[in-house]
């Protein structure tokens, strides 16, 4: 490709996202060409099965099952096929042959982003990934470019639409998790196999990407403390409402001490007054705190073919412009080199629901355990007391997560404690 010729685009994948990318390329071709400064020529679409039925917008003559040959004749490779292999090898092949890459593949970037970043850096090509985190929402570029002059201290967000939909249905209709999940699957919000969503792995991959960008450091998905939503009960959600909270699956990345970063994904109580509490259905929202900018919130559709394709096209136009005009975008920045720290070093608050004997002195014994672990209690509420047993709902002040976890373990060992019914962190106060 030269400044006068078209930019050759290879599309890897033609599923939910790929079909919408193809549609936008076809329907908005003239306008995209004007924005890029050269036409975008779709030179091929790699799929697994070239005979499978496709949306009529897809030109079947472009379909191929030889992705490897396709990437070697492109200026920009748009990867929306997902998975780790053969995707990683194909992208490395593309980069080695001088192509820039646009990818939506959070699983690959969360697991092995550094290999791709290093290869792109060495080859002097772009690697853009806006669609990999929170679908249509511009977040990667604000973190990588707009906030690069500031110091981000914390990123807190809802980055998985499926789990937000499920938790929202539980809160709105009092459903048990399995029923809300079944409904999400029927409506097409959740995939047939929703494991990566409900176990938190999808959010953990996104959290690793966001943490790496926000803190100029390398964080892999293996550094992320990850708990999904499968342990959340209808009772947890109902109790949360009684105390003015909602349960959300949060991804949190924050500085820990002078040279550390803690990244975690888990269900948490969010006060109804916090902007994240009003994020409903399958929407995503990310709250960024930076020293000079203060608090910023990014909100929108985190998934779906067209919203994700919007982010992909934004990247494609940008890297194609670089091809036409020369130069390239920012590379991975890891100069801060913060150390990923265990979740025990996070400072947070807990809400603990403990089922105890309903008799004199029990509350004092429970309170002693908190004091012994240097954990300060903010509120205590007693619910469902029947003269035999009662539930204590204890909310703590902020303390190191390790101290809070030890407190819960010690509570469970008290003879007057029948069960620790639930433990949820309280975030976003």
Least distance CB 162 / ligand HSE (angstroms) = 3
Task: Out of 46, 158, 166, 411, point to the residue binding ligand NDP (CB under 6 A).
Answer: 46
Contacts of 104 (CB under 8 A, 6+ apart): 17, 79, 80, 82, 129, 131, 132, 308, 311, 312
- The site partner of 162 among ligand HSE, ligand NDP, none (C-beta below 5 to 8 Å per kind) is ligand HSE
Q: How many residues bind ligand NDP (CB under 6 A)?
A: 25
SS3 assignment, position 58: coil
d(CA 347, CA 426): 11
19 marked as binding residue: yes
Instruction: Please give the residues from 201 up to 230 whose contact with ligand HSE meets the rule CB under 6 A.
Output: 202
Q: Does 48 bind ligand NDP (CB under 6 A)?
A: yes
- The site partner of 200 among ligand HSE, ligand NDP, none (C-beta below 5 to 8 Å per kind) is none
Least distance CB 411 / ligand NDP (angstroms) = 40
Q: Does 135 bind ligand HSE (CB under 6 A)?
A: yes
Q: How many residues bind ligand HSE (CB under 6 A)?
A: 8
| Annotated catalytic residue within 141, 144, 201, 206 | 206
Least distance CB 329 / ligand NDP (angstroms) = 20
| Tally: H helices and E strands in the chain | 14, 18
Instruction: Please give the residues from 263 up to 292 whose contact with ligand HSE meets the rule CB under 6 A.
Output: none
For residue 141, is it left (φ>0), alpha (ψ between -120 and 50) or beta? alpha
d(CA 322, CA 16): 27
Q: Which residue is nearest to ligand NDP (CB)?
A: 15
d(CA 305, CA 57): 14
Closest CA relative to residue 130, chosen from 317, 306, 314, 285: 314
Residues 337-366, one symbol each (x = binds ligand HSE by CB under 6 A, - = not), give ------------------------------
Contacts of 184 (CB under 8 A, 6+ apart): 162, 165, 166, 169, 190, 194
Assess whether 206 carries a catalytic annotation: yes
Q: Does 18 bind ligand NDP (CB under 6 A)?
A: yes
83 marked as binding residue: no
226 marked as binding residue: no
Task: Out of 7, 9, 10, 17, point to the residue binding ligand NDP (CB under 6 A).
Answer: 17
Q: Does 52 bind ligand NDP (CB under 6 A)?
A: yes
d(CA 314, CA 309): 8
- The site partner of 160 among ligand NDP, ligand HSE, none (C-beta below 5 to 8 Å per kind) is ligand HSE
Q: Does 161 bind ligand HSE (CB under 6 A)?
A: yes
Closest CA relative to residue 312, chosen from 40, 5, 34: 40
Whether 173 contacts 346, CB under 8 Å: no
Task: Out of 22, 40, 71, 82, point to the residue binding ligand NDP (CB under 6 A).
Answer: 82
Q: Which residues of 323-336 are buried (b: 16+ CB within 10 A; e: fewer)?
A: bbeeebbeebebee
Instruction: Please give the residues from 289 up to 328 whose contact with ligand HSE meets the rule CB under 6 A.
Output: 302-303
Instruction: Please give the residues from 111 up to 170 whose contact with ligand NDP meets the rule CB under 6 A.
Output: 131, 135
In the complex with ligand NDP, the residue whose CB is nearer, 67 or 356, is 67
d(CA 362, CA 290): 44
d(CA 49, CA 322): 33
Which segment (74-82, 121-129, 315-323, 389-397) binds ligand NDP by CB under 6 A?
74-82
CB atoms within 10 A of CB 310: 21
Q: Does 197 bind ligand HSE (CB under 6 A)?
A: yes
d(CA 226, CA 203): 9
Whether 72 contacts 4, CB under 8 Å: no
Task: Out of 40, 47, 320, 394, point to the residue binding ligand NDP (CB under 6 A).
Answer: 47
d(CA 222, CA 217): 14
Contacts of 61 (CB under 8 A, 6+ apart): none
Contacting residues toward ligand HSE, per CB under 6 A: 135, 160-162, 197, 202, 302-303
Annotated binding site: 12-19, 106, 191
Annotated binding site for L-homoserine: 191
Contacting residues toward ligand NDP, per CB under 6 A: 13-18, 46-49, 52, 67, 80-83, 86, 104-106, 131, 135, 303-304, 308
**Residues carrying an active site annotation:** 206
């Amino acid at each position: 490709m030269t400044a006068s010729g078209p930019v050759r685009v290879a599309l890897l994948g033609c599923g939910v996202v790929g079909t919408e990318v193809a549609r936008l390329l076809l329907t908005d071709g003239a306008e995209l060409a004007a924005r890029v400064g050269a036409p975008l020529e779709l030179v091929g679409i790699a799929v697994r099965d070239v005979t499978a039925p496709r949306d009529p917008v897809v030109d079947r003559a472009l379909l191929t099952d030889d992705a490897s040959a396709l990437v070697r004749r492109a200026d920009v490779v748009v990867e929306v096929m997902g998975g780790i292999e053969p995707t990683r090898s194909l992208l490395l092949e593309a980069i080695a042959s001088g192509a820039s890459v646009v990818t939506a593949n959070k699983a690959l970037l969360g697991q092995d982003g550094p290999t791709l970043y290093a290869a792109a850096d060495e080859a002097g090509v772009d690697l853009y990934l806006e669609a990999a985190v929170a679908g249509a929402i511009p977040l990667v570029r604000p973190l990588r470019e707009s906030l690069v002059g500031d110091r981000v201290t914390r990123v807190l967000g809802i980055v998985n639409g499926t789990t937000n939909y499920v938790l929202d249905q539980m809160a709105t209709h009092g459903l048990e998790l399995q029923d809300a999940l079944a409904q999400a699957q029927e409506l097409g919000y959740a995939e047939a196999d929703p494991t990566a969503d409900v176990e938190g792995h999808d959010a953990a991959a996104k959290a690793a990407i966001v943490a790496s960008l926000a803190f100029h450091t390398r964080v892999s998905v293996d550094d992320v403390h990850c708990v999904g939503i499968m342990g959340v009960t209808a009772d947890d959600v109902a109790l949360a409402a009684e105390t003015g909270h909602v349960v959300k699956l949060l991804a949190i990345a924050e500085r820990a001490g002078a040279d550390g970063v803690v990244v975690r994904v888990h269900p948490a109580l969010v006060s109804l007054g916090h902007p994240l509490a009003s994020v409903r259905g399958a929407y995503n929202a990310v709250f960024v705190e930076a020293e000079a900018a203060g608090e910023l919130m990014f909100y929108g559709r985190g998934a779906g073919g067209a919203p994700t394709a919007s982010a992909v096209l934004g990247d494609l136009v940008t890297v194609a412009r670089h091809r036409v005009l020369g130069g390239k975008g920012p590379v991975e920045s890891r100069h801060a080199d913060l150390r990923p720290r265990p979740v025990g070093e996070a400072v947070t608050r807990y809400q603990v629901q403990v089922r105890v004997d309903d008799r004199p002195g029990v509350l004092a014994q429970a309170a002693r355990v908190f004091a012994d672990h240097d954990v300060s209690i903010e509120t205590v509420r007693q619910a469902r007391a029947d003269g035999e047993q009662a539930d204590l709902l204890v909310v703590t002040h902020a303390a190191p997560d390790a101290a809070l976890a030890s407190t819960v373990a010690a509570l469970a060992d008290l003879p007057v404690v029948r069960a620790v019914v639930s433990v949820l962190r309280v975030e976003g106060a």
